[in-house]
Amino acid sequence: MDKELSSMLLGSSVYTGEIAAENEEHDFRESVGQNAPPRVLADFLDLVEGYRRGEVAREEYLGRLRRFESKAEAAAERAERVPIGPDDAARDYRRLMVDALDGFAEAARMARVAAGGDGERLQEAIDQARRASELLAGLVEAPPGKSKVDSS
């Protein structure tokens, strides 16, 4: 999960937004990879389920969640710093991207709190991760200011 999450958060999403600031021809919206949201969600769910089944040790689980949270927060901070100009749609897109990345960080925090056996809290973490993934996927499918038809 760590390598793939890093690739999504640093490579497929916001990090390339920083490159986009240097390359004005690159559209910031194109920096989100089509497979990134479902892959990160799947990795998160695999980790949580592995822990539930006893396949992932508690220390490893907590450490991976901390890294997940840290990377999501760092990507959100980078996204906030990407210069985007006066375009309202681009500003909306960046805000939604930051919200989605913050959502992944919050899901990791919630899952860590639930590590003591709080099944209800863990389900809330899973639901939060799903919402964040859906938000990212929606940004890929139809960025603000474009319809799904326009963005294909």
> Is pLDDT of 91 > 60?
yes
Which range among 71-80, 96-105, 140-149 shows the weakest confidence by mean pLDDT?
A: 140-149
- In one-letter notation, the amino acid at residue 51 is Y
Highest average pLDDT, of 26-30, 37-41, 125-129, 140-144, comes from 125-129
Q: How far is residue 30's CA from residue 13's CA, in Å, rounded to a whole number?
A: 9
The contacts of residue 126 (CB under 8 Å, 6+ apart) are 44, 45, 48, 107, 111
Please check whether residue 151 is in contact with residue 89, taking contact to mean a CB–CB distance below 8 angstroms.
no
Q: Which two tokens stand for residue 6?
A: 């890093």
Task: Give me the mean pLDDT over the 144-152 stretch.
Answer: 47
pTM of the model: 0.66
Q: Where are the alpha helices (DSSP H) in the chain?
A: 2-6, 15-22, 36-52, 58-81, 88-113, 119-141
